[in-house]
Amino acid sequence: MPIQKVSFEETLGRMVVGRGLCVGCASCVVSCPFKCLEYFNGNPKIVGECKACGICAQICPRFNFSMPQLEEFVFGRKRKPEEEFGIYKRIIAARATSDKVLRVCQDGGVVTSLLISALDEGLIDGAALSYESPEEPLRATPRLALTKDDILGSAGTRYTYSPNILALNEGVQRKAGKLAFVGTPCQIHALRRMQMLPLKKYADAVKFLVGLFCSESFTYDGLVKGLLLGKLGVKPEEVVGINIKGKVLLKMRSGEVRAVSLKEIRDYACAFCSACPDFSAELADISVGGLGLEGWSLTIVRTDIGEEVFRRAELSGAVRVKPLEDARIIDLLIRMSRRKRETSARFYGSA
């Protein structure tokens, strides 16, 4: 289909940024062939004369986004009504075998293990992912990881938004070779749209996409100034990790774990997350979350390349797997997926 020629201002400027829907994924910024956009304060900002090529409007995860269209592209078919958390090949509980990974990971260390295994096996040359800003504790920051140590040093979840597409762009500019991409569902949406268009330099650079389950991300100011400093009187540098398991669990440098009610953090969720219909990264090659499990990752293998990456990690012994014995986990996954679709539908209904 020929690209409709429309300007950034008429499309994303007015309908996405202007309505507070921009997730700040940076896909438009990196894709603009005329370098008209810059990434500024988490949003695109027009800095040159827009030639109205229309590319940004074709790849934005918040503009004319169609899940069925992308499902056709990724899986060759649309989902059946009973495929409530998207199309997949298998769903398992999995866990890293390496103590080094288990010490630093968020849940079962599957994401880090898959990336290290794929690097070892020569499937990838690196990964576009996220790490903690060396300058600001708890701030998620995109990173181009080209070594095992980089990947290991990026394990764990930061609950603030990280535009990992900037790291992918760095990899493309540096001709870093084949890359894995790790990101939240909205970033996977953008990446799939870039592949579908196609924007060849990005499509060719990406070997596989690992999607993280996501209820929402939080603003840095809200999380740090609002919750930690404001409500709890805790300095961010005292917190070595945060996990959300029914409660917000703050792992303190002292070894203590402080539990805080989810209600305390909800006010600081990024407003744009209400528009997202996707909990379990339904378009990724492999989706990973911690839902319903302790110390294991709930892992959904969705595509052929996802299966190959996972199988190689399993065969090399990097991950071990157990079946999901508790049917309540699938029920929970279905409930979370429905809830996100309903919230998104309500958002658009009232927007």
Q: Are the C-beta atoms of residues 258 and 232 closer than 8 Å to each other?
A: yes
Among 62, 139, 158, 340, binds ligand FAD (CB under 6 A): 158
- Contacts of 173 by beta carbon, 8 Å cutoff, 6+ apart: none
| Residue 274 binds ligand FAD (CB under 6 A) | no
Q: Distances in Å between the alpha carbon of 131 and those of 137, 151, 163, 309?
A: 10, 9, 11, 22
Cα separation, 201 vs 72, whole angstroms? 22
Q: Which stretch binds ligand FAD (CB under 6 A): 38-46, 56-64, 157-165, 311-319?
A: 157-165
Residue nearest to ligand FAD (CB): 289
Cα separation, 207 vs 190, whole angstroms? 15
| Residue 195 binds ligand FAD (CB under 6 A) | no
- Pick between residue 11 and residue 169 the one whose CB is nearest to ligand FAD: 169
- Contacts of 278 by beta carbon, 8 Å cutoff, 6+ apart: 67, 185, 186, 188, 189, 214, 337, 340
| Residue 107 binds ligand FAD (CB under 6 A) | yes
Cβ neighbours around 336 below 10 Å, total: 20
Among 111, 205, 265, 309, binds ligand FAD (CB under 6 A): 111
The runs of H, that is alpha helices, within the chain are 27-31, 55-59, 67-75, 99-104, 110-120, 148-152, 165-173, 185-196, 200-205, 220, 263-266, 304-315, 327-350
CB of 112 to ligand FAD, least distance (A): 3
| Residue 212 binds ligand FAD (CB under 6 A) | yes
- Pick between residue 74 and residue 144 the one whose CB is nearest to ligand FAD: 144
- Pick between residue 305 and residue 332 the one whose CB is nearest to ligand FAD: 332
- Pick between residue 130 and residue 219 the one whose CB is nearest to ligand FAD: 130
| Residue 289 binds ligand FAD (CB under 6 A) | yes
- Pick between residue 29 and residue 105 the one whose CB is nearest to ligand FAD: 105
Contacting ligand FAD within 136-155 (CB under 6 A)? 140, 154-155
Q: Are the C-beta atoms of residues 210 and 111 closer than 8 Å to each other?
A: yes
Among 117, 162, 169, 195, binds ligand FAD (CB under 6 A): 162
Backbone angles phi and psi of 320, in degrees to 5: -120, 160
Q: Which stretch binds ligand FAD (CB under 6 A): 49-57, 127-135, 169-177, 198-206?
A: 127-135
Q: What is the DSSP code (8-state) at residue 218?
A: B
Contacting ligand FAD within 8-27 (CB under 6 A)? none
- Pick between residue 143 and residue 193 the one whose CB is nearest to ligand FAD: 143
Report the DSSP pairing between strands 179-183 and 140-145.
unpaired
Among 7, 31, 217, 219, binds ligand FAD (CB under 6 A): 217
Cβ neighbours around 200 below 10 Å, total: 10
Q: Are the C-beta atoms of residues 160 and 223 closer than 8 Å to each other?
A: yes
Backbone dihedral region for residue 292 (phi beyond 0: left; psi -120 to 50: alpha; all else: beta):
left
| Residue 169 binds ligand FAD (CB under 6 A) | no
Whether cis (ω within 30° of 0) applies to the bond prior to 134 is: no
CB of 265 to ligand FAD, least distance (A): 11
CB of 224 to ligand FAD, least distance (A): 14
- Pick between residue 53 and residue 180 the one whose CB is nearest to ligand FAD: 180
| Residue 211 binds ligand FAD (CB under 6 A) | no
| Residue 58 binds ligand FAD (CB under 6 A) | no
Among 7, 58, 297, 343, binds ligand FAD (CB under 6 A): 297
Binding site for ligand FAD (CB under 6 A): 105-112, 129-131, 140, 154-159, 162, 164, 182-184, 212-215, 217, 288-291, 297
